Structure formats: structure tokens, C-alpha cells
Amino acid sequence: MRVAVIPARGGSKRVPRKNVRVFAGKPMIAWAIDAARESGVFDHVVVSTDDLEIRDVAVAAGAEAPFLRPAELSDDHTGTRKVIQHAIAEAERAFGPVDEACCIYATAAFVEPDDLREGLERLVAGHQFAFSATGYAYPIQRALRLAAGGGVEMCQPEHRLTRTQDLEEVFHDAGQFYWGRRDAFLSDEPMFGPLAAPVMIPNWRVHDIDNEDDWKRAEMMFSALGRGAAG
């Protein structure tokens, strides 16, 4: 059985109630639920929350909420891995054995069904984890830092004269979704390692939403892409 796990606690502080705040015509969490359901690869789309309002909004959007997340897994310091492990255990109590799970963040409004399908293909090909990733907008080998005595210095001065096209391409976690085999999630195996595969997302579809400016910018991009709830 394959399950999507959407973590959505009620205590977000920088953008209060952002998981259920209306974004482009729908509660934010509804976009992640829609992508999961439209992908067609999940037997269950489960929301993990400690909050009754979030639970009700998620269920109305088509998710399932067979449990409430305990308070000790709902503070600012709880890692996502522990939340996924708890959700897998609860999903197995409710539905039966889980083979693969995919954590999809509630604020991943830009995630698309094809991204989720591609992540599953990585697992089928033999990887333990697959995750959304995107390239840096500028070569990090040219990064600068403040020097001890004032002014700036290059972090990697050996690349001062290296042509951009000759620099190694690097990327980072896009923070949208994380596929994993059940046993890999339940183990201490690092998410990012030899058995993990990236699913590349264009950087114009990657938006962290940590403050009001982020929210406005993301909504404008969403609209520019022709997305949003009808009416």
C-alpha cells in the first residue's frame, strides 16, 4: 500500500494558520491534497495534524484523517522524520501494511502530479528515497562572505576565474515532497545519501513561504502560471 502523508500542524507562527489560509482561491493545504489525489499513485492521502480545524479542512478537500498527531510531535522542534514515522504507524493501524510513503508539505502548492509519479518511479528503480530538488539560481562556487577585517572574500577563491559553464552543477532540496520505502523511513538512514534520487523541479516552481512577502510573491507566480481556483 502507498500512502501520502501531509504534515500540517496548527502552530505556524511566521505566517499564522498558513496551512488553511486561502491561497489562490483554496485553503493552502487543498493544493497538495489535489496533487496527491490526481497523481493516482496513492491508496490513501492522510493528513497528520494536531489541529481540529486543519483536520476538517483537509477532509473536506479529499484527504483522510484517521488520527490526531500528539502534542509531543507538534512543537517547533520536532523533525519531519518523526512525524512521518508516527503517521506510517497510525496508517498501518487504520489501513494495513504500508510499502511506500510520500511526505508532501502542506504548503507545496506548486507540486504537480507528474512530480509525484516521477518520485515513485525512482523508488521502483531501486532507490530508498526520492525527493524534490532544484538548481541554484547562481553558481555557489562564486559565493562571497564577509571577511574578518571588513570587506568580502570568495568562499572558493580557486574558482575566481573559472568559466561559469565549467563549474559543477549543484542543487538543493526543494522542500516539496519526500518519497521513501517504509523501512527506510523507519530506520535512521539519512534522507540524502547514495540511495536517494532527486526529482528536479524548475526553480520558478519552488517557493518557501516563511513570511507575508513570500506569500504574496508565491500567489503572483501561481496566478502567472494560470493556476488558481475557478470563481
**Residue 205 appears among annotated catalytic residues:** no
Distances (CA, A) of 120 to 34, 44, 117, 190: 17, 15, 5, 18
Between CA 200 and CA 173 the distance in angstroms is: 9
Pull the grid cell for residue 189: 538512514
The one catalytic residue in 2, 9, 69, 160 is 160
When computed from its CA atoms, the radius of gyration of the chain, rounded to whole angstroms, is: 19
Q: How many other CB atoms are found less than 10 A from the CB of residue 86?
A: 19
> Which amino acid type is present at position 75?
D
Between CA 57 and CA 28 the distance in angstroms is: 10
Catalytic machinery residues: 160
